[in-house]
């Protein structure tokens, strides 16, 4: 388990601070993550990688010459927010555009995708690539749904070496896509991982058994089998990876491959070498030549006891990119010519101590919104453990923690905005950004959309009426479905948000005051949340474990229903009835 921490909520920030202090000649900290401490050639494509904390050396340890130009770093097992990704990309970019690369998880897809759109709107060309190497997480026919695991390193390395060689953005993106298409990974685990401050692992494996096809966020494996010997583990890994050859690879014999035997946190190097001894023999017997193999901890999951095997079937184009020199804090290959240190200009500081003008009516509505956010935060605090247990049935168990981070950040940002005299829109927009930044992950992105949509509807000048609030919720519902691509029936928060919005709109259009309409809609939300227990998830981290979730409500749907019920009383005396 993770034994050394202070406040668990501050673990990721403190770890990043210490990491930067330990490697001042290779990385420097910027809002949202880290970038190279050395100068990058003007016009070079910037490869910005990222994801949640808890996977070191991924992602911050892979920033340096010959590898990534920057890494956006989220909270533990939670993707960085779009705002964080954008800040890191701006700091890393030197005129050649940005490739944003990440593991293919729902939260990362949402946040990095949003960041790419925002960067393009600012005039910075941006492309995205989600790594999909994990064979166990989807069938070959649905390979686009697969997760990114240790294959991240190979794809990042190919893209970064191509950028270092001076290729333009579209070419760097094509090379990254090629490396991704030719990379396969498969892993096993003997125990789950324990998050900082937690007293139990996210999943457990029975004594004498191992999980097969695990994820790197504490997701349980796809199945179990008896614990093998080291040689038997190697045979399972090799036979599985060789059992699915990428398009264009007819047979392994005579092929050259980049090879990674990756430890997930608690399997020590000597054990990995025992396993790799047999992996090397089996690959040679199959006619595969391992090129610059890597054995060690490269993409981890805190203290998970597990191991994974990754192969990338090299081409004449990919091989020199895999073997090219690199100098990052956690990954070094060959010799690079040391670049000069970059001294950033810090004179242009943003000032968040002011707010746009607002009317007295809107400031009064802002106080109501602040009260609602306080109730929301308190509700999440009370139910955080319950939400984590629900989420752990088929996911990674961090929904309660993520909701706590997000709701606390949103309330604190709203409190500061209210003290400055903000109107309702400004207060909720700042709360939305803070929620997304602090929580990350899918829920962070979606709750940011919800608060932003409601704030935009309320504005900074008028006194909100019940129909205006209902319109804001309707915009939030549409925004969540548009961003997350989920529909009713997918077993997500959409299964509660949509009926809640419909009921609220219908009640306000019928002339009900907000408190009454909200109460009616909250009952619809509670019923809809309970009904998700009968659904199978079709999206998100729970999808590969769909059958396990049957009989348990969706954690995001359940938390939304709890929240809309709890904030009802806030609206009773403070807003117009019509």
Q: What percent of the chain has pLDDT over 70?
A: 94
User: Helix or strand or coil: residue 7?
Assistant: coil
CA dist 382 and 384 (Å) reads 6
Per-residue pLDDT, 301? 87
Residues forming a β-bridge with 436:
none
Answer yes or no: is pLDDT of 202 > 90.
no
Radius of gyration for the alpha carbons in the chain, expressed in angstroms and rounded: 24
Question: In sequence order, what DSSP letters do the residues of 479-542 get, joined into one string?
Answer: HHHHHH---TTSSSTHHHHHHHHHHHHHHHHTT--HHHHHHHHHHHHHHHHHHGGG----SSTT
Residue 273: band (very low, low, confident or very high) from pLDDT cuts 50, 70, 90: very high
Model confidence over 504-542: pLDDT tens digits?
999 999 999 999 999 999 999 999 999 999 887 776 555
Model confidence over 125-161: pLDDT tens digits?
999 999 999 999 899 999 999 999 999 999 999 999 9
Model confidence over 230-246: pLDDT tens digits?
999 999 999 999 999 99
* Of 211, 283, 298, 229, nearest in space to 253 by CA: 283
**Residues 16, 34 contacting (CB under 8 angstroms):** yes
Q: Is 337 left (phi over 0), alpha (psi -120 to 50) or beta?
A: beta
Model confidence over 297-321: pLDDT tens digits?
999 988 888 999 999 999 999 999 9
User: Helix or strand or coil: residue 177?
Assistant: helix
**Residues 79, 114 contacting (CB under 8 angstroms):** no
**Residues 522, 501 contacting (CB under 8 angstroms):** no
Token digits for 253?
Answer: 């014999």
Answer yes or no: is pLDDT of 575 > 50.
no
Per-residue pLDDT, 350? 52
Q: Return all residues near 332 (Cβ < 8 A) that are at least 6 apart.
A: 326
Question: In sequence order, what DSSP letters do the residues of 425-478 get, joined into one string?
Answer: HHHHHHHHHHHHHHH-HHHHHHHHHHHHHHHHHH-SSS---HHHHHHHHHHHHH
Answer yes or no: is pLDDT of 214 > 80.
no
**Residues 192, 218 contacting (CB under 8 angstroms):** yes
**The residue count for the chain:** 578
Token digits for 368?
Answer: 């109501």
Report the mean per-residue pLDDT for the chain: 90
In this predicted model, which residue has the larger pLDDT, 462 or 497? 497
* Of 371, 367, 365, nearest in space to 461 by CA: 365
CA dist 212 and 237 (Å) reads 10
Token digits for 184?
Answer: 């396969």
Per-residue pLDDT, 349? 46
Residue 9: band (very low, low, confident or very high) from pLDDT cuts 50, 70, 90: confident
Model confidence over 342-376: pLDDT tens digits?
877 655 445 567 899 999 999 999 999 999 999 99
Residues forming a β-bridge with 211:
189, 224
CA dist 185 and 214 (Å) reads 11
Answer yes or no: is pLDDT of 31 > 80.
yes
CA dist 347 and 110 (Å) reads 32
State the catalytic residues: 217
Residue 437: band (very low, low, confident or very high) from pLDDT cuts 50, 70, 90: confident
Per-residue pLDDT, 346? 57
């Amino acid at each position: 388990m993770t034994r050394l921490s202070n406040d668990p909520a501050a673990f990721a920030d403190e770890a990043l601070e210490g990491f930067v202090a330990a490697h001042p000649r290779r990385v420097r900290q910027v809002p949202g993550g880290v970038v190279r401490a050395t100068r990058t050639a003007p016009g070079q494509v910037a490869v910005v990688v990222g994801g949640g904390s808890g996977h070191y050396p991924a992602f911050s340890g892979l920033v340096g010459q010959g590898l990534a130009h920057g890494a956006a770093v989220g909270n533990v097992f939670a993707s960085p927010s779009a705002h964080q990704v954008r800040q890191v990309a701006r700091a890393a970019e030197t005129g050649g555009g940005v490739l944003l690369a990440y593991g293919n998880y729902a939260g990362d897809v949402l946040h990095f995708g949003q960041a790419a759109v925002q960067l393009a709107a600012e005039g910075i060309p941006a492309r995205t690539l989600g790594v999909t190497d994990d064979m166990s997480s989807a069938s070959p026919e649905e390979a686009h749904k697969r997760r990114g695991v240790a294959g991240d390193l190979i794809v990042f390395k190919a893209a970064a070496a191509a950028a270092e060689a001076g290729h333009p953005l579209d070419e760097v993106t094509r090379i990254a896509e090629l490396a991704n298409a030719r990379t396969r990974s498969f892993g096993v685990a003997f125990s789950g991982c324990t998050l900082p401050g937690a007293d139990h692992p996210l999943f457990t494996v029975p004594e004498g058994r191992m999980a097969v096809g695990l994820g790197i966020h504490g997701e349980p494996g796809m199945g179990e089998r008896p614990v093998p010997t080291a040689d038997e583990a190697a045979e399972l890994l090799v036979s599985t990876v060789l059992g699915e050859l990428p398009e264009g690879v007819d047979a392994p014999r005579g092929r050259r491959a980049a090879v990674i035997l990756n430890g997930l946190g608690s399997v020590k190097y000597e054990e990995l070498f025992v396993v790799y001894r047999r992996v090397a023999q089996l690959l040679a017997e199959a006619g595969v030549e391992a090129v610059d193999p890597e054995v060690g901890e490269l993409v981890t999951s805190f203290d998970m006891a597990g191991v994974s095997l990754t192969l990338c079937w090299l081409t004449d184009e990919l091989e020199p990119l895999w073997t090219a020199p690199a100098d990052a804090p956690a990954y070094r290959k060959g010799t690079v010519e040391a670049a000069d240190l970059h001294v950033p200009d810090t004179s242009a500081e943003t000032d968040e101590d002011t707010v746009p003008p607002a009317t007295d009516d809107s400031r009064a509505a802002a106080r109501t919104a602040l009260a609602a956010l306080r109730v929301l935060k308190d509700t999440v605090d009370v139910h955080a453990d319950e939400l984590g247990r629900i989420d752990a049935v088929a996911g990674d168990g961090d929904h309660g923690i993520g909701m706590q981070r997000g709701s606390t950040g949103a309330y604190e940002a709203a409190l500061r905005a209210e003290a400055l005299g903000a109107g309702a829109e400004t207060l909720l927009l700042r709360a939305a950004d803070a929620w997304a930044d602090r929580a990350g992950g899918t829920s962070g992105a979606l709750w940011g959309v919800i608060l932003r949509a409601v704030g935009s509807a309320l504005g900074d000048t008028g006194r909100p009426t019940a129909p205006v609030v209902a319109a804001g919720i309707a915009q939030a519902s549409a925004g969540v479905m548009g961003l997350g691509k989920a529909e009713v029936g997918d077993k997500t928060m959409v299964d509660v948000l949509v009926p809640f919005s419909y009921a609220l709109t219908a009640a306000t259009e019928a002339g009900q005051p907000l408190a009454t309409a909200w109460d009616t809609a909250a009952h619809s939300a509670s019923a809809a949340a309970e009904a998700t227990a009968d659904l199978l998830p079709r999206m998100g981290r729970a999808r590969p474990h769909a059958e396990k979730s049957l009989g348990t409500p969706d954690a995001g749907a359940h938390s939304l229903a709890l929240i809309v019920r709890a904030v009802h009383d806030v609206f009773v005396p403070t807003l117009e009835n019509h």
